[in-house]
Structures are given as structure tokens and as C-alpha cells.
Structure 1
């Protein structure tokens, strides 16, 4: 069995598209106005971004421990990603460090979604 897609609800669809294109190299496959965008990572995974209803924007937050994780092959790649993240204007307030058996960077973006970029090397 293989996970092939995920739907992520976001408060700003345009911002989320740019974020995943610029930082994680996702490609936009299809967009339906300001409601939905379909993106692919080039490795068989599809990310569907859905706009949250405006009535939820201010009050809704993902649960504290919810996060999206990405694996990298080397510590250098994690460090380079951290530099890319800062250049993009998403300062994490953290630097990558060894934790739980991996070299890991945690940061929040897109209105509070937690991201993890890790190398188990």
C-alpha cells in the first residue's frame, strides 16, 4: 500500500501554492479558482490544497502536534533547505539540530502548520 495523496486545508491558497512550489519543488497541475489546487511532487505524491471557508480562517488551527514531514538524504541538504527557507522569508526561529535519531528542522508556516525537515543519516 502506498499513500498517494493528501488534502491540506489552508487559509491562503495562493500563498500555499507559492510555498510548496518554491520550497518543496511541487508542481501545480490544476487550479480551480480560489477553492482548490492540485500539486505533484514528481515522485508519485499528489498534494491537494483546499481553501478553508472564510468563516473558519481566524478561529481554526490544526492540532498542536499535527505536522507535515519531509525526509532529505544528507545533513547538507537540511542545512541548504534552512537557508532556502530564510531566503523565502519564512524565518523558522530555529536551526537544524540532532534530535530523536535525525538531523531535524521544525518550523511553522501557512498560518501555523508545523513542518519537519529531517535527515536520518
Structure 2
């Protein structure tokens, strides 16, 4: 079966024991907007561009695989460096310095308060061989 659909990424859903802290983190550091918190479940819906971020209230902490992560892309390396410095300044748990692995663009990794790994990157300094748009 060879079906072709036009899909767009719709949402991410993360379980967390502290919805309020996690929601504020996404709002303050990644520019998400808190749309509402469901008083019955404690779950929250945030918006980031055309993507929903759902934070699901849990009683017990959820263990994350160390390599599971989500990523945000910035336009320039200068912005990546600046955000890295700002997150470091305010005490966000960062796992790496800014680096450019095999020419794929500058990036760094950190963790949300709930333990989910995030990546911040840019394609500005990416080697052309990695550019999917040029293949």
C-alpha cells in the first residue's frame, strides 16, 4: 500500500508531576503560551506556533530514556549561544556546551524541570551535505 498524506506535526504530550513548573518553563524559556489548565485533571495545554504541548499531571515521576528529546531550532548560532548563556545564568540544567557535531549545525542539550531532554539548534552553520532541502 502506497498512501501519501500531507501531514503536519500537531502536538507533543509529556507526563509530569509538576504541571505548573513545567508549563512556566515552556512559557518563560521557549515562548509557549499557556492556553488553559484543566481543573478536573490538572493537565495543561500550551501553544507553540502551530504545535500544541500537552502536559499531563502524574502522581509518580516518569523515567525518561536518556536520549529521548524534543528540539527547537533557532535562526543563528549567535541566538543558540545567547540562549545557552541565558539558560545557564538562570540555573536550567544544561547537559552540554554549544557544539557542532559532524557539521550538522550548532546545538546544545538540557533538561526541563520534569526531566525531559531538549535540544536547541541552528542550521545556519550546517555543512551543505546535511541539508535535506538540497538533495
TM-score (normalizing by structure 1)? 0.86
- 1-side partners of 2:27 and 2:16: how far apart? 15
Q: Which runs of 5+ in 1 are unaligned?
A: none
Which residue in 2 is equivalent to 1:106? 109
**Structure 1: 4+ residue segments shifted above 6 A:** none
2:36 is matched with which residue: 27, 30, 33? 30
1:15 is matched with which residue: 21, 42, 57? 21
* Structure having greater relative contact order (Cα 8 Å, sep ≥ 6): 1
Say which structure is richer in strand: 1
Moved more, 81-90 or 69-78: 81-90
Per-residue CA deviation, residues 14-68 of structure 1 (Å, 9 max, x unaligned), is 1101100100010111111362111111x2111111112x2x22xx311121101
The number of aligned residues is 116
TM-score (normalizing by structure 2)? 0.78
Per-residue CA deviation, residues 70-117 of structure 1 (Å, 9 max, x unaligned), is 111100110111122123321415321111411011112223211100
Partners of 1:11 and 1:110 within 8 A in 2:
no
Q: Which runs of 5+ in 2 are unaligned?
A: 1-6, 125-135
Greater gyration radius? 2
Residue 92 of structure 2: SS of its match in structure 1? coil
Residue 3 of structure 1: SS of its match in structure 2? coil
- 2-side partners of 1:27 and 1:38: how far apart? 9
Instruction: Say what the alpha-carbon RMSD is for the aligned residues.
Output: 1.6
- 1-side partners of 2:12 and 2:27: how far apart? 16
Which residue in 1 is equivalent to 2:12? 6
Which residue in 2 is equivalent to 1:45? 51
2:65 is matched with which residue: 63, 66, 77? 63
